[in-house]
Chain A
Amino acid sequence: MLSIAKITFREAIRDRILYTILIFGILFALLTLFLAQLTVGDLAMVRSFGLAGIYIFGMIITIFLGSSVVYREIEKKTLYFVLSKPISRGRVIVGKFLGLLFAVALTTICMALIYLFIIAYEGGGIDVLGLVSILLQILEETLFIAMLILFSSFSTPLISTISSLLLLFVGHLLDTVVKSAEQIGGAIHQIFLYASYILPNLEKFNIRNLVIHDIGISFETLLVIIGYTILYIFIFLISAEAIFKKREL
């Protein structure tokens, strides 16, 4: 399983398109230096811009790497080398998940280090709350990777990408939509309420608005979010394994 993770990680971080996206992400982070000059000491704006940039590019990298991970291996038949050897399909799924996770986390950390340096350079010290926000972003990316592996086990990269973008959008609007539906009431409210129980609420991972106002989260809240992430990862990966086991090569 760790061999699969290692190979997946190596393949991912050697992808030239990944480097292109990462360079844009780093440039965006460096842009905050310029923004810092314009805002003249208003670190809230710099932090907002920086954290938003890390999030956007982190998710682009996640979706780019994850949307075709299993599908591509089936289409290109690289899985013939793997599955003819004594390794179960479940271990392949988990190995792919871990490899992608390490690759995505590494790129996010690269962007985060630049961000932290800029905040420190501008007199903000070590941005601990910013670090917590980025940690939660990595948790969100982890959940997304598991979801993308599930999609990738049965659909094409295009459908995986579109589905994940839709879920990204819906996942962040879930609370707002349910509150609006509550005012309408009836079946509409019930539908959106049940949807909110099933779909991952990605807004749980978003504390960027709190962080820029120096508001943190409690340790208990952090533990709940971690538990929430683990539950969804478990559901996604078990489902991916079940589908992948039935998949003809």
Chain B
Amino acid sequence: MIEVSGVTKQYGGERVVSDLSFSVRKGSTFGFLGQNGAGKTTTIKMLVGLISPFSGKILIEGISPSTLSIKKKIGFMPESAYFYERLTGMEFLHFCGELFGLNKDEKYYESIFKKLGIYEAKNKVIREYSKGMKQRLGFAQAIVNNPEYVFLDEPLDGLDPIGRREIKEIIKSLQKEGRTIFLNSHILYDIEELCDEIGIIHKGKLLYFGTINLFCSGISLEERFIKLIEKEK
């Protein structure tokens, strides 16, 4: 389970996340919605232990995410990440696996490349990858350790329709395997399709946390979301 209690984050004098509290049940898929600059990425960075909250607590299985033992169970895909451009895809994935202490053979990593549809590019330098290929590689390194908790920051960004479908199928397969998935997105349609529960953040504050059905109450997610944000404005 992921527990977030009273979390605040500020940079200088500016609060980017304010008194955030929610929880994510083990084995569920949680969608974190918000406009650009709402605080989604800051929140996910705190959840995976990259940065620490100014106040409040974040616990995964009762342990802080900055603890190395919990990081072994986490997979994280950053948004629009830069890679080590002079490495090949395979070298990069091997590197990520080694950071988890994995001692897998080439076939294991090849199977991940095949799953993500970039097998042919595995020995190409990442500099030559397209945006979509980099996005898939980012997803590949997020699941290299077979994580129990998968944190995805805009995982479908930059993908063509076929790529989007393929990644969604992978997310659904992770769901079937009982992984806990935390998904940042501003694309409501994807959240509606994939998530059990959602949290809506606006200017660092949580406006809603709960199921999609309860939130929507008969109207579309997009309509309901826009109404909520406009009400806040």
The interface of chain A, by Cβ under 8 A from chain B, is 3, 6-7, 10-11, 14-15, 76-78, 80-88, 248-249
Residues of B within 8 A of A6 (CB): 95
Residues of A within 8 A of B83 (CB): 78, 81
Q: Which of A11, A81, A82, A87 is the most central at the interface, judged by chain B CB atoms within 10 Å of its CB?
A: A81
A80 to B83, CA, bound (A): 10
Residues of A within 8 A of B99 (CB): 3, 82, 85-87
Residues of B within 8 A of A87 (CB): 68, 99
Are A80 and B86 in touch, CB under 8 angstroms? no
* Residue contacts A-B, CB under 8 angstroms, 15 given: A3-B98, A3-B99, A7-B87, A10-B84, A10-B87, A11-B86, A81-B76, A81-B78, A81-B83, A82-B99, A84-B48, A84-B50, A84-B76, A85-B100, A86-B72
Are B68 and A86 in touch, CB under 8 angstroms? yes
A11 to B127, CA, bound (A): 12
Residues of A within 8 A of B50 (CB): 80, 83-84, 249
B184 within 8 A of A: no
A82 to B96, CA, bound (A): 7
Residues of A within 8 A of B141 (CB): 81
Are A80 and B71 in touch, CB under 8 angstroms? no
A7 to B86, CA, bound (A): 10
Are A10 and B71 in touch, CB under 8 angstroms? no
Q: Mark B65-81, 1 if CB is under 8 A from A, else 0.
A: 00011011010101001
Known: A6-B95, A10-B91. A84 touches B82 (CB 8 A): no
The interface of chain B, by Cβ under 8 A from chain A, is 11, 45, 48-51, 68-69, 71-72, 74, 76, 78, 81-84, 86-87, 91, 95-96, 98-101, 141, 145, 151
Known: A3-B99, A77-B78. A88 touches B91 (CB 8 A): no
Are B87 and A81 in touch, CB under 8 angstroms? no
Per a CB cutoff under 8 Å, which of B45, B71, B81, B91 touches A85?
B71
Residues of B within 8 A of A249 (CB): 45, 50-51
Residue of B nearest to A85 (CB): B99
Are A85 and B96 in touch, CB under 8 angstroms? yes
The 7 A-B residue pairs whose C-beta atoms are closest, nearest first, are A14-B86, A84-B76, A3-B98, A86-B71, A76-B82, A85-B99, A80-B78
CB distance from B52 to the nearest CB of A (A): 9
A87 to B100, CA, bound (A): 8
A153 to B69, CA, bound (A): 26
Are B82 and A7 in touch, CB under 8 angstroms? no
Residues of A within 8 A of B82 (CB): 76-78
A107 to B132, CA, bound (A): 36
CB distance from B124 to the nearest CB of A (A): 13
Known: A80-B81, A85-B99. A11 touches B87 (CB 8 A): yes
